[in-house]
Amino acid sequence: MTFPFNSISYAVCRAAVISALAVISSPSLAQEAAASKQVTIGLIEEARPDVNPWAVAWHESVEAMKRKDPSLKVIETYDAFDPVRAEPVARQMIDAGVNVVGLTTFVLTDVAKNLSTDFPKVPMVAATFGVTRQPNLSSVTASYLEIGYANCWLLTKLSKDGRLGVVGAKKAPFETEQLEGCKLGATAANPSAQITLVNTNSFTDTQANREQVKSLLDQGIQNIFLISGTSDLVGGLRLCESSKAHCALIGGDRRWAPTATVTNVMLDFGVVLADLVDQQRTGIIKAKSFDLTFGNGGLKVPDFKGIDAVNPELEKGFQAMVADLASEKISLPDSKSHPGMR
């Protein structure tokens, strides 16, 4: 079938071309078109937020994004500790319309590689270091030196005898780097500080964590940093609360020990996910390596409302210390777990 080409059809075509060119050439119209694109974020998490501090960080990050941009949609699933089950779930999510993916644990590194190859137009990020693949697989880590420094600086200031305990899980690189930061922060707060390290050998055994916290309490150590960020530490935090000890953690909030959690370093993955959302909306997809720090807003600390152990003078000193970490006035050694980053 053919259509007659006359002055009317020419005028219609010319108007359509001019209109299209106007949209392309107008930054504001192009930006509006990009902003109107529906984005659905899919998170593959290792556990539910109510039992896992690391999951709390991811969940709260997307909730904050939704408050800023109500058009965002988010789907969360909680099977990440089993890559065999997690991968088909992730594929189903993408087939159902998810177009930004967060793989929230290093356990899913191989899954991330597989997905990025099969879905190159879907920006995604894996919570690991050194695993990026163009065009769409980014990685995210955090400054574990800053995290350890900040938490142990405060715990040491609260310690009457300069002693503090550290409860780890499996001596993973992110744990050992937090411990190094902890040593630096503790020494800065008290040159005579002494650190006792214990490990649970599990990322999920809450009873093992509780027992290790009890072993520290039995030694008279009342200031304890729980460094795993995973489900195991919930047991230790609850004992901290009932024992009226001082504890700190990474990732989550104070829900498990409202008064005993004197501080915690919260991770804002919105810094990363907002970038991926922008990539999806603009169509300019590029893999990046992200490092959450106090300086870029990826690391945050809570206020001290309801925390009687921290007086105004100590709070002021703590905030000044965090500001010095953010500005890098406080120098730290080169990262061993993610070389080239803070």
Distance of alpha carbon 152 from alpha carbon 148, whole angstroms: 6
Q: What is the pLDDT of residues 232-265, one digit of tens each?
A: 999 999 999 999 999 999 998 899 999 999 999 9
Q: pLDDT band at residue 1, thresholds of 50, 70 and 90?
A: very low
Looking at residues 140-159, what average pLDDT do you find?
Answer: 98
pLDDT of residue 34: 55
- Tell me yes or no: is domain 144-267+298-327 CATH 3.90.1150.10: no
Nearest-angstrom CA–CA distance, 48 and 294: 26
Q: Over the stretch 289-331, which tens digit does the pLDDT of each residue have?
A: 999 999 999 999 999 999 999 999 999 999 999 999 999 999 9
pLDDT tens digit string along 28-51? 544 555 567 899 999 999 899 999
Domain definitions of the chain by residue range: 37-143+269-292, 144-267+298-327
* Residues 98-133 pLDDT 10s: 999 999 999 999 999 999 999 999 999 999 988 999
- Identify the residue with better confidence: 44 or 80: 44
Find, among 292, 263, 230, 248, the residue nearest to 80 by Cα: 230
Is residue 229's pLDDT more than 60? Answer: yes
The secondary structure of 67-134 as a DSSP string is: HH-TT-EEEEE--TT-HHHHHHHHHHHHHTT--EEEE-SGGGHHHHHHHHHH-TTS-EEESSSS--BT
Across the range 169-174, mean pLDDT stands at 94
Question: What is the per-residue pLDDT across 181-222, written as a single tens digit (0 to 9) for each?
Answer: 999 999 999 999 999 999 999 999 999 999 999 999 999 999
Q: Kindly state the greatest CA–CA separation across the chain.
A: 94
One fold for 37-143+269-292 and 144-267+298-327:
yes
The arrangement of strands across the sheet holding 223-226 comes to 194-199, 163-168, 223-226, 246-251, 261-267, 299-300
Would the pLDDT of 2 be above 90?
no
Q: Mean pLDDT, to the nearest integer, of 167-192? A: 97
* Assigned fold of 37-143+269-292: Rossmann fold (3.40.50)
- Residue 93 and residue 177: Cα distance in Å, rounded? 34
CA distances from 246 to 143, 176, 262, 279 (A): 23, 21, 6, 42
Quick one: average pLDDT of 332-340?
92
Which 3 state secondary structure label does DSSP give 200? Answer: coil
Give the pLDDT score at 256.
96
**DSSP at 248:** E
The pLDDT of residue 204 is 94
User: Do 223 and 263 contact (CB within 8 A), yes or no?
Assistant: no
* Residue appearing with tokens 């938490």: 151
